[in-house]
Amino acid sequence: MNITLKRSALPLLVGGVLIACGQKQEEKPKDTSPVKVTVQQINSGSEAEQLRYSGTIEAENQVQLGFAVPGTVASVLVNEGQMVSAGQLLAVLDPTEYDNALLIASAGLEQAEDMYTRLNGLYEKGSLPAKDFIDIKSKLAQAKANRNLSLKRVKDTKLYASMSGIITSKNIEKGAMAAPGAPAFTIINTSKVYARVSVPESEIGKISKGQTANVSIATIGQQLTGKIAIINPMADAATKSYSVKIQLLNGQGKILPGMIADAEIATGQSVDAITVPTKAVIRDADDITYVYVANGDNKVTRKRITASGLKGDDVVISDGLQSGDRVVVTGQTKLKDGATVSL
């Protein structure tokens, strides 16, 4: 009895499942209707070639200053970030030891000069052997050298700025011991600065010294015009790129080393360029830039592009498209790769 009931219930159960599946399929129909879009056929045109690079600002020159003699720092007169002038006193060592050495050397010179004066008269009269006269001349020369050396050491207890600029590093403090030759201060000159960029091997032949470049510094919102001053003839071993420096005037001192700079260099040559309307370009969450291109079957293909700049309301495309492509300019936000469209 139980077996009969189970067998009769099986068809009903299967039929119920099929009906339910049919209802589910009816609830979620696939929308395959074409998406209404507008396309524009793109063509290449001729325009002036512009090379664009990103780089950093560097100071025109930088020097490290230190004492030539050892000693205890008696005073430090400047701080980091301070503007200094050439010849300005920066720090002083305790000169006591060197002042005393100068007194001793001066006394020795005075004694040698006195001896030379007395013996020189005897030598001129023929009463002093030539050997003794040469000996006193040698002692006088040594005494003069000792005094000059002691005088220099006294002067070396004071450290002066060798050029005008900004103190970027201060490595000594009052009471500390200063070692000869150890950097006490670093000064950079920013009256002129360089925008340093890396140029690939394929483009270095289009750039020459003295060429004009436009440099944009977003940090301070300035656009400046400079000239290419230095082209390093040695390529980087890893990247095979060349270091190029563009000199910029910085009279107001607003441009600081380390700032990001975007440089644009006109080569004077014309190149074929493909442009698309700005509204056609899409950027996804991964920062990938692309457009949709319609084919002859009214289906679209997503194509990744590389933009090299702007030209009016259009984007200049350096890679990813070719002349004759039909780019979707409206309705592209509703598309996915391979979607059918209606024009």
The pLDDT value given to residue 333: 84
Angle (nearest 5°) at CA 63 between 234 and 232: 10
* pLDDT, tens digit (0-9, with 9 covering 90-100), for 49-103: 788 899 999 998 999 999 999 999 999 999 999 999 999 999 999 999 999 999 9
Question: Quick count: other Cβ atoms within 10 Å of Cβ 128?
Answer: 16
* CATH of region 52-61+189-271: 2.40.30.170
% pLDDT > 90, the chain: 55
- Residue type at 248 in one-letter notation: L
Angle (nearest 5°) at CA 174 between 184 and 150: 70
Residue 86 Cα distances to 74, 89, 167, 188, 295, angstroms: 21, 9, 12, 12, 69
Query: What is the Cα–Cα distance from 244 to 250, expressed in whole angstroms?
Result: 19
Q: Which CATH number, 3.90.1170.40, 3.40.50.300, 1.10.287.470, 1.10.10.60, labels domain 95-156? A: 1.10.287.470
Q: Is the pLDDT of residue 214 over 90?
A: yes
* pLDDT, tens digit (0-9, with 9 covering 90-100), for 255-304: 999 999 999 998 888 777 788 888 889 988 888 899 999 988 888 999 99
Q: Is the pLDDT of residue 12 over 80?
A: no
* pLDDT, tens digit (0-9, with 9 covering 90-100), for 105-146: 999 999 999 999 989 888 888 888 988 889 999 999 999 999
Q: Is the pLDDT of residue 212 over 90?
A: yes
Q: Is the pLDDT of residue 19 over 70?
A: no
Is the Cβ–Cβ distance between 56 and 258 less than 8 Å? yes
* CATH of region 35-46+272-342: 2.40.420.20
